[in-house]
């Protein structure tokens, strides 16, 4: 198969140098299986996307910094009839975290969320009361890598009000209760290829932090997915990502139940090196879809 592996201009801007180069490892494995793989930057206007049998989104990590360009690129890919994985419709839906509201309306259990529309006032007292929490997480509806993400006590929220209201003039945000389970237990990531479960990691933040991203000092541990959490993740993928090459279900366990934090369908790190069979499962799914 002749594959374009979609990336961005500067991976280093979005990850620490210590992060394993998953793109290079995946490319090498796919080459070994007889595929032709070329890294292509999605913002490069010179790329001939029709030259490829399939275009695979892997690390367009800057999409949320230039989301209107990204939407226009998706429109172009769709108009050209390019075979994009994951599919254009899924990717467009997944780019804005308001997809979580769609999932909740369809019956999925998500972390309780309040939506702050662009131009709205930031009213922390109301949010603390409404969400029943003493600490808020506030972040953009289109974002990644903990960009413009705040963890706020009541006093900190009042102090941050001018900064957050300034950001709200530019884009939509959301507010959620801070879940202490992220620090005490960790955040689960369950990986799926071609709709089938592959492997699982547990992510915990460094001491004193709440962000679990490995390039921010978080710890990543390959683990066996608990059966009850996997059952929920299986259902989410089957319902909301059945036609996807890859999906990552991120969640936290609260009272024995998986609360969804993100369904990652655009450019998630896949932790392929954490499981000896993950590359083979990815390639098998790629050959099927």
Question: In CATH terms, is domain 2-94 a member of 3.40.50.20?
Answer: yes
pTM over 0.85: yes
Per-residue pLDDT of the chain (289 residues; tens, 9 = 90+): 999 999 998 776 666 544 558 999 999 999 999 999 999 999 999 999 999 999 999 999 999 999 999 999 999 999 999 999 999 999 999 999 999 999 999 999 999 999 999 999 999 999 999 999 999 999 999 988 778 899 999 999 999 999 999 999 999 999 999 998 888 889 999 999 999 999 999 998 755 555 545 555 567 899 999 999 999 999 999 999 999 999 999 999 999 999 999 999 999 999 999 999 999 999 999 999 8
Class of domain 99-109+181-271: alpha beta
Question: In CATH terms, is domain 114-177 a member of 3.30.1490?
Answer: yes
| DSSP assignments along the chain, one per residue | -EEEEEE-S-GGGGS-TTS--HHHHHHHHHHHTT-EEEEEETT-TT--GGGSSEEEEEE-TTGGGSHHHHHHHHHHHHHHT--EES-HHHHHHHTSTTHHHHHHHTT--B---EEE-TT----HHHHHHHHT-SEEEEEESS--TTTT-EEEEHHHHHHHHHHHHHHHTTS-EEEEE--THHHHT-EEEEEEETTEEEEEEEEEPPTT-----GGGT-EEEEEPPPHHHHHHHHHHHHHH-TT-SEEEEEEEEETTEEEEEEEE-SS----GGGSTTHHHHHHHHHHH-
Task: Locate the domains of the chain by residue range.
Answer: 2-94, 99-109+181-271, 114-177
């Amino acid at each position: 198969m002749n594959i374009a592996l979609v990336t961005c201009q500067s991976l280093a801007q979005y990850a620490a140098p210590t992060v394993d180069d998953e793109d290079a490892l995946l490319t090498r494995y796919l080459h070994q299986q007889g595929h032709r793989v070329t890294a292509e930057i999605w913002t490069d206007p010179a790329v001939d996307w029709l030259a490829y049998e399939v275009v695979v989104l892997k690390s367009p990590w800057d999409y949320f910094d230039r989301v209107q360009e990204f939407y226009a690129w998706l429109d172009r890919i769709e108009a050209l009839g390019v075979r994009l994985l994951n599919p254009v419709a899924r990717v467009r839906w997944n780019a804005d975290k308001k997809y979580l509201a769609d999932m909740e309306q369809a019956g999925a259990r998500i972390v309780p969320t309040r939506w702050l529309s662009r131009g709205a006032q930031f009213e922390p007292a109301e949010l603390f009361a409404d969400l029943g929490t003493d600490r808020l997480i506030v972040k953009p509806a289109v974002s990644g890598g903990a960009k413009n993400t705040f963890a706020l006590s009541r006093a900190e929220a009042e102090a941050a009000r001018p900064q957050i209201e300034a950001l709200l003039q530019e884009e939509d945000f959301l507010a959620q209760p801070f879940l202490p389970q992220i620090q005490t237990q960790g955040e689960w990531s369950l990986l799926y290829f071609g709709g089938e479960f592959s492997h699982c990691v547990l992510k915990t933040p460094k001491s004193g932090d709440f962000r679990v991203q490995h390039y921010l000092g978080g710890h990543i541990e390959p683990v066996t997915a608990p059966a009850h959490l996997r059952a929920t993740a299986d259902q989410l993928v089957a319902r909301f990502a059945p036609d996807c090459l890859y999906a990552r279900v991120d969640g936290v366990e609260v009272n024995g139940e998986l609360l969804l934090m993100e369904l990652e369908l655009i450019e998630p790190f896949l932790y392929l090196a954490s499981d000896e069979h993950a590359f083979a499962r990815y390639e098998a799914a790629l050959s099927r879809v």
